[in-house]
Amino acid sequence: MLALSSKFFGAAMIIYIVATLVYATFLAIKSEKIGSLATGTATLGLLIHTAALIVRTVASYRQGIGQPPFTNLYSSMVFFSWAIILTYLILEFKFKQKAIGVFVTPIAFILLAVTTLLSDQIEPLVPALQSNWLLSHVVTCFFGYAAFAVACGISIMYLVRIYYEERGAGQVGVLQILPSSELLDELAYKAIVIGFPFLTIGIITGAAWANYAWGTYWSWDPKETWSLITWFVYAAFLHARFAAGWKGKRTAVLSIVGFLFVLFTYLGVSWLLPGLHSYA
């Protein structure tokens, strides 16, 4: 079953890059039919991706390990990729903005592409980490990360649009196919508003899990420290927006910087700063 789940992940990866191309085509010709095809392609990828996660979970139970599909680097990356597409499709359905897909679906594709370089084997967690806190901590953190990934994609679109606007390009070319700068700024803000509570809950449940596993709520492990730094970056984003009235280019840059912190917390810390979370 493990081989089957890997094949499903591979199929989802291919479908996501196809979805990216269809979204790009939609941007270029603004055809509603192409837009619907792009959404349908991304949804098909998500369904196959979901099936892969279910099959991997079943395989884990059949091996006697019995863990959800996000307990090592391979598993967490396929789950992170899945959460990004799910979050994006919810936002697309809510705000009716398909153009964002061309900047978000490649992120999910890249994450799945990286997993092809990793072992897909299911490994049991150490006994100290086998807890019901695992589900709430990891799921909330990854949904927070996913919302921040979507916000980053939107912020890149915003900066591209502003670049051409400032050079007086007029409503032609890139400016003709991208949503307005005001809408992109608002969508990036809303994505971060969605992601911030998830990250906050993830840090709180992680502290509770740490107390269960290691007997202390906070030990300044590198992953804990960088998670807190990332939280402060997005807290600064929201504070600057509410209290100082920041909008536009400054918040777009802060959104992108915040996602770089997310990536470092998720990948950089695991590879460069070994600690209690080195298994993740």
State pLDDT tens for residues 203-251.
999 888 888 877 888 888 888 899 999 999 999 999 999 888 888 899 9
Mean pLDDT (the chain, rounded): 88
| Buried-exposed string 61-92: b where 16+ CB fall within 10 A, e elsewhere | eeeeeebebbbbbbbbbbbbbbbbbbbbbebb
pLDDT score of 266 more than 80 = yes
Q: Transcribe 198-231 into DSSP letters.
A: HHHHHHHHHHHHHHHHHS-S----HHHHHHHHHH
Output the pLDDT for position 174. 65
Digit-coded pLDDT (tens) for 243-257: 888 888 999 999 999
Query: What pLDDT shows up at residue 67?
Result: 75
Q: Is 263 exposed, middle or buried (0-12, 13-18, 19+ CB in 10 A)?
A: middle
Residue range 127-165, pLDDT digits in tens? 666 777 778 888 999 999 999 999 999 999 999 989 888
Residue 277 has what pLDDT? 63
11: pLDDT confidence band, cut at 50, 70 and 90? Answer: very high
Q: Which residue has the tokens 């809510």?
A: 94
Residue 244 confidence (pLDDT): 85
Q: What distance lies between CA 230 and its chain's CA centroid?
A: 14
**1 against 94, higher pLDDT:** 94
- Higher per-residue pLDDT: 67 or 277: 67
Task: State percent of the chain over pLDDT 70.
Answer: 93
Share of the chain above pLDDT 90, in %: 54
Q: What is the pLDDT of residue 129?
A: 66
Query: How many CA atoms are closer than 13 Å to the CA of 258, on its beta-carbon side?
Result: 35
* 181 touches 162 (CB < 8 A): yes
pLDDT at 128: 64
Q: What integer pLDDT is reported at residue 205 of this predicted model?
A: 92
pLDDT of residue 41: 97
Residue 176 has pLDDT above 90, yes or no: no
CA distance 1 to 245: 52
Residue 20 has pLDDT above 60, yes or no: yes
| Confidence (pLDDT) at 19 | 97
Q: What is the mean pLDDT of residues 5-19?
A: 95
pTM of the predicted model as reported, rounded to 2 decimal places: 0.89
CB 78 within 8 A of CB 119: no
- The predicted-structure confidence for 22-52, as pLDDT tens digits, reads as follows 999 998 887 889 999 999 999 999 999 999 9
Nearest residue to 11 (alpha-carbon basis) of 43, 40, 52, 39? 52
Residue 79's pLDDT band (cuts 50, 70, 90): very high
- The per-residue DSSP string of the chain comes to -HHHHHHHHHHHHHHHHHHHHHHHHHHHH--HHHHHHHHHHHHHHHHHHHHHHHHHHHHHHHTT----S-SSHHHHHHHHHHHHHHHHHHHHHHH--GGGHHHHHHHHHHHHHHHTTS-----PPPGGG-STHHHHHHHHHHHHHHHHHHHHHHHHHHHHHHHHHHTT--SSTHHHHSPPHHHHHHHHHHHHHHHHHHHHHHHHHHHHHHHHHHS-S----HHHHHHHHHHHHHHHHHHHHHHS---THHHHHHHHHHHHHHHIIIIIHHHHS-STTTT-
